[in-house]
């Protein structure tokens, strides 16, 4: 148990729709990072939030956006869903300072039809 939870577990959407995925970090963890993992590949970094501000972004288009709240919860929003967005979405929380171990949630499996 990492203390990081994600909801929902599974989600099915159709192309063009919008989706919101949620993550609850460990208490005291100021940093949350979101990753997309396609089948058979390693996770790809989407973006990171530190104390409610975006703190770095990977090679993902603006239709991927996020929010972090003061209660250690966060959201990943994806607009105009495409078939290639089908993947496992993972959030990871960390302290934001040494030793900075990342703790991952169980993920949300998104299927876009």
Partner 1 sequence: KQEVTQIPAALSVPEGENLVLNCSFTDSAIYNLQWFRQDPGKGLTSLLLIQSSQREQTSGRLNASLDKSSGRSTLYIAASQPGDSATYLCAVSLGTNAGKSTFGDGTTLTVKP
Q: How far apart are alpha carbons 89 and 81 in whole angstroms?
A: 14
Give per-residue burial for 50-59: e unless 16+ CB within 10 Å, then b. Answer: eeeeebeeee
Identify which of residues 20 and 30 has a Cβ nearer to partner 1 in the complex. 30
What residues between 34 and 73 interact with partner 1 by CB under 8 A? 35, 40-45, 48, 50, 56, 58
33 binds partner 1 (CB under 8 A): yes
Question: 């929010």: which residue's tokens?
Answer: 67
Q: Least distance to partner 1 from the beta carbon of 102, Å?
A: 5
Residue of 16, 100, 111, 113 that binds partner 1 (CB under 8 A): 100
């Amino acid at each position: 148990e990492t203390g990081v939870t994600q909801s929902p577990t599974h989600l099915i959407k159709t192309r063009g729709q919008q989706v919101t995925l949620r993550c609850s970090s460990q208490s005291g963890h100021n940093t949350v990072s979101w990753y997309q993992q396609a089948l058979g590949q390693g996770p790809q970094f989407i973006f990171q939030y530190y104390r409610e501000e975006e703190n770095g972004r990977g090679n993902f288009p603006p239709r991927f956006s996020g929010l972090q709240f003061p209660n250690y919860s966060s959201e990943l929003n994806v607009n105009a869903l495409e078939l290639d967005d089908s993947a496992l979405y993972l959030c990871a929380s960390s302290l934001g300072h040494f030793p900075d171990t990342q703790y991952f949630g169980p993920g949300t499996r998104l299927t876009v039809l």
